[in-house]
Amino acid sequence: MGRFTKIGVGRTIYLLLAILFTCSVVLQFFLAGAATFVSPLNWMRHTTFIHLFGFNIPIFMLLFAFIGGLPRWAYWQVFGLLVLIFSMYFTANMIADFPWIGAVHPVIAALLFFQSCVMVSQSWKFIFNKGEGEN
């Protein structure tokens, strides 16, 4: 299958979005660290940046998974990202009512990073190894 077919382009854009999402998660870790160890003013950058990529990139990933004819695992992985992102918002906004829940926030962030790395790895293998791992 050629890389410049509709399916090939959809799969490539899906992979690029997965890489972009992973890099965005790493940047979020950096911004949280900067807010903790450099200046609390960086919390605004941390909270603003999530709105740029949080739900937007996964929604586009769903679209390009469909265009690229990716297997079911791609959709489930994006769904997992969306659940983790929702959990991040939940833990960030429920601290006033349940202070202990804030401790779960960085744990979910680590899971989000792990999940995004798995997505990049699996989609890379699928695209460049000619469809291996279709299940």
pTM as predicted: 0.89
Is 134 among the domain residues? no
Is 133 among the domain residues? no
Is 71 among the domain residues? yes
Is 41 among the domain residues? yes
Which pLDDT tens digit goes with each residue over 69-99? 999 999 999 999 999 999 999 998 888 888 8
Is 86 among the domain residues? yes
What is the number of domains present in the chain?
1
Is 104 among the domain residues? yes
Is 111 among the domain residues? yes
Are 21 and 76 contacting, i.e. CB atoms less than 8 angstroms apart?
no
Ranking 3-12, 19-28, 76-85, 101-110 by mean pLDDT, the lowest is: 3-12
Give me the domain span that covers residue 66: 6-128
Q: For all residues of the chain together, what is the average pLDDT?
A: 92
Residues in Cβ contact with 61 at an 8 Å cutoff, skipping those fewer than 6 apart? 14, 17, 18, 21, 74, 78, 81
Give kind and range of the element (H or E) at residue 78.
Answer: helix 72-93
Is 135 among the domain residues? no
